[in-house]
Every structure is written in structure tokens, then in C-alpha cells.
Amino acid sequence: MNQVTQVLLWLSPHGFFDSLNTEWITDLREFVRSVLPKIVVTAVGAWLLARVLKLITNRVVRVAERHSGSAGHLSQVRTLTSVIRATGIGVIFFLAALEILPLLGFKLEPLLASAGVAGVALGLAAQTIVKDCLNGMLILMEDQYNIGDVVRLAGLSGTVEAMSLRKTQVRDGDGTLYVIPNSQITTVANLTRDYSVATINVSVDFSANPDEVMALLTKVAMGVRNDPAYKDVFLADPTLLGVDAIKGSQVIYPVQLRTKANQQWAAMRETQRRIRIALAEHGMLPGDPLRVFSAGMGESAGAASREVAETAIKQADPTAAKANEVNPFTGEGM
């Protein structure tokens, strides 16, 4: 009877709330009074340190933007600050976790003791990550490429958008973002280191005089070179390499523009636009592919040169009436 009475008393509201005043309530009060403040202080401190680190790195980038004399140096500063920020934030929160876990009752000693056994397995599993980080450190130390550079890595081409010790993010012209582990980067092709060279292969009609074409292309390219909108981009005068190839009815004239690193695109597009207009004005645009060229002697007596006369191919109209032809069935002329 006594046991039944005790159970009924415990099941009653008054008995249930009285049972809450047990040892675990005492532990909870102790946790809220002493442990929870330490956890909050540690978490807030870690957040503040991460925030300060982010503000410092952003400040360094802004100072570099104002005082940097070259785009390459600015790009290097951005890359280093990005890696320092990501690595520093990771270390801060890792140390904060080591501080908070014991407060929550997790004992790190058994984990550290078992690390010797599990370390072998983890080492085998993490060896790729170690390779990524080591290769990332070498890339940064040797300044192989920076954020904003146009590169070709592991068979992929694009602009470097982000870097860390473990991976490099590259975005191509289609907007596709590639994440490349640094351990897979064995060969680096930096297309915008120190300076950039844009090559424009101009196709000109075969009948055009090469000297006149060279003079026209030089005039157009120098016009872009001296344009105030593009003058500061060029590092040297445009270079014309002459006749590079003859392809059917077209002659190829390469034009090279040497500009500051990764700043060749606008100058190249403007040069191509002006070349297209100039060739049209001088009748030098590539002709119809369906053309033949017959060589004939010049009319001047004793002329040693040959004139190239262009003859357009005319397709016969099968419906046109032909002279002196008679329909064999009706006897009428066709």
C-alpha cells in the first residue's frame, strides 16, 4: 500500500514537480551558472577575432588598391589576404571548439590517445588533402598565379576567382565554375603574367596589294594605340608580321597588340571593329569563296608583272532558253 501511495503521489502534479528538484536540476543550475558563460564568452571571442581578422585583411586590400603601382602586385595582395583570412578563421574556430568541447563533457584525452591508432587510417585518407595544402603553399610562395589572372590549369582555362591552400576556383567564359584541388595542378599556364599579347588574324582579299594592306592595318592599329581611351593600356606600338598565310582567296595578316596584363580585350575588340570598317571602305574584304583567279599578261609593252583578274563563277540557269536548240518532240525552238 505504501508503494502504491508513493507512485500515486509521484504521478500527481504536485509530486511530479517535486521530483524535478533532483540532482540533474542541480547540475543544470551549475551548468547555467558556471559553464554556459564560459561557452558564450569563448564563442563570442572567436567570432570577434574572426571579425577583426576580416577587417584587417580588407583594410590591407584597400590600402593596396590606393598605393599599388602595378596590377600584378595588387592581385598578389588580394590572393594572400584571401588565403590568410580563410586559414586564420579556420584556426580560430578550431581552437574555440577545443575549448568548448571539454566544457560540454567531452573528454579529449581518449580521443588524443586513440589518435595514434586512428592516425594511420586518417593519414592514408587525408594524404590527398595534405598534398593539396603543400602544393597550395608552393603556389603562393612562388607567386605562380593570383586572383584575377587568366590561367590554364589541369586542362581547364578561365579566370581565377578564389584560392585557398587546398583548392583553386576557376571560371571559364561560359560562366562555369571549376574547383581544382591544388594537388592536381602540375603545370601552370598564366596567360596574363606581366603583360598580355592579343593577336588578330586579319583576312584580306587575295587581289589586294600587300603593301597597301600593311599600310592600312598600321594606320588603323596606331589609331587605336593613340586613342585616349586605350592609350594607357598599350605597352608598345602594334606589330604587323606581314603575310602569314594564303588560304584560297584570302591572305592572312597577323596584328599583335601588347598591353598591360589582362587588359587586352577592349583594345582588341576596338581594333577589330576599325579594321572591318577600313577593309570595307577600301574594297579589301575577303571575297566570295566561289571565285577563281586567272592570270593574264599586262597590256603595257614589256611589262614583266602579271595582273590577277578576278572572275566570278556563274551558275547556269537550267530553265533559260538556249539558242539554236530544237525540241525533238515538237520541233519548236527551246
pLDDT, tens digit, 9 for 90 and up, residues 100-146: 888 887 776 666 666 565 666 666 666 788 888 888 888 888 888 88
Domain end position, chosen among 106, 130, 156: 106
CB of 257 within 8 A of CB of 271?
Answer: yes
322 pLDDT higher than 60: no
User: Of all helices (H) and strands (E), which one includes residue 123?
Assistant: helix 108-141
Query: Any idea which of 2-16, 64-78, 190-204 has the lowest mean pLDDT?
Result: 2-16
CB of 204 within 8 A of CB of 250?
Answer: yes
Residue 326 in domain? no
Query: Any idea which of 42-51, 204-213, 312-321 has the lowest mean pLDDT?
Result: 312-321
Query: Any idea which of 104-118, 144-158, 183-197 has the lowest mean pLDDT?
Result: 104-118
For residue 267, what pLDDT is reported? Answer: 93
Residue type, 116: G
Question: Cell for 41?
Answer: 564568452
298 pLDDT higher than 70: no
CB of 255 within 8 A of CB of 267?
Answer: no
Residue 287 in domain? no
pLDDT band, very low/low/confident/very high, at 276 (cuts 50, 70, 90): very high
278 pLDDT higher than 70: yes
Q: What share of the chain is helix, strand, coil (3-state, %, to 5)?
A: 50, 20, 30
Query: Any idea which of 52-61, 188-197, 305-314 has the lowest mean pLDDT?
Result: 305-314
Residue 102 in domain? yes
**Mean pLDDT of all residues in 11-38:** 66
For residue 274, what pLDDT is reported? Answer: 95
Give the total residue count for the chain. Answer: 334
Domain end position, chosen among 254, 281, 308: 281
> Per the structure, how many domains does the chain have?
2
Tell me which residue range forms the domain holding 276.
195-281
CA atoms within 13 Å, Cβ hemisphere of 320 = 5
Residue 175 in domain? no
Domain end position, chosen among 248, 265, 281: 281
**Mean pLDDT of all residues in 24-36:** 75
DSSP string, 29-97: HHIIIIIHHHHHHHHHHHHHHHHHHHHHHHHHHHHHHHH-SSHHHHHHHHHHHHHHHHHHHHHHHHHHH
* Residue with more model confidence, 96 or 291: 96
CB of 180 within 8 A of CB of 159?
Answer: no
Question: Cell for 2?
Answer: 505504501
DSSP string, 242-285: ---EEETTEEEEEEEEEEETT-HHHHHHHHHHHHHHHHHHTT-S
Q: Give the CATH number, domain containing residue 205.
A: 3.30.70.100
248 pLDDT higher than 80: yes
Helices 264-281 & 210-225 angle (0-180, nearest 10): 140
* Residue with more model confidence, 268 or 287: 268
Distances in Å between the Cα of 196 and the Cα atoms of 33, 77, 140 are 64, 20, 22
For residue 120, what pLDDT is reported? Answer: 62
**Mean pLDDT of all residues in 236-247:** 91
pLDDT band, very low/low/confident/very high, at 220 (cuts 50, 70, 90): very high
For residue 48, what pLDDT is reported? Answer: 93
CA atoms within 13 Å, Cβ hemisphere of 283 = 3
Residues 284 and 250: their CA atoms lie apart, in Å, by 10
Question: Which percentage of the chain shows pLDDT scores above 90?
Answer: 31
Question: Which percentage of the chain shows pLDDT scores above 70?
Answer: 71
For residue 262, what pLDDT is reported? Answer: 82
pTM as predicted: 0.53
Question: Cell for 255?
Answer: 596584328
Residue 251 burial by CB count (10 A; 0-12/13-18/19+): exposed, middle or buried?
buried
pLDDT band, very low/low/confident/very high, at 321 (cuts 50, 70, 90): very low
pLDDT band, very low/low/confident/very high, at 204 (cuts 50, 70, 90): very high
Query: Any idea which of 16-20, 64-68, 319-323 has the lowest mean pLDDT?
Result: 319-323
For residue 179, the cross-strand partners are 169
User: What does the DSSP 8-state code read for residue 184?
Assistant: G
81 pLDDT higher than 70: yes
Question: Cell for 321?
Answer: 532558253
**Mean pLDDT of all residues in 69-76:** 67
Burial 14-23 (b: 16+ CB within 10 A, else e): eeeeeeeeee
Residues 257 and 270: their CA atoms lie apart, in Å, by 11
